[in-house]
Amino acid sequence: MSNGHGLSEEEQDFFEAIDRNTMAEQHIFDALSDISDEQYYTLFEVEVEHTCGPAQVQVYPERAGTLYRCLNCGMAGIIGG
């Protein structure tokens, strides 16, 4: 079955999940915008709006990207540098 955008229901669900994850990663990136050089290569936590809602997220920023793990839902990933 297709919606108004010409996508199947499965495709629509996929792209909505990608959008939610992208927004959550943008919140994490924004929370790290003011970190100092001393905070690179250090594990710490930020509070952000994640795909699961408000959550504490562990982050490990490095020059090549930021590793993260949500302490609420367990989702982990890498935000490109």
The region, left, alpha or beta by phi > 0 then psi within -120 to 50, assigned to residue 51 is: alpha
57 closest CA partner among 69, 41, 65, 42: 69
Asked, for residue 32, whether it belongs to a domain, the answer is: yes
Q: In the chain, pLDDT over 70 holds for what percent of residues? A: 93
pTM for the full predicted model: 0.78
Task: Tally the C-alpha atoms within 13 A of residue 24's C-alpha that lie toward its C-beta.
Answer: 23
Q: What mean pLDDT is predicted for residues 54-71?
A: 94
Asked, for residue 1, whether it belongs to a domain, the answer is: no
Asked, for residue 39, whether it belongs to a domain, the answer is: yes
Residue type, 38: E
- Report the distance separating Cα 25 and Cα 49, nearest Å: 9
The parent domain of residue 61 ranges over 9-80
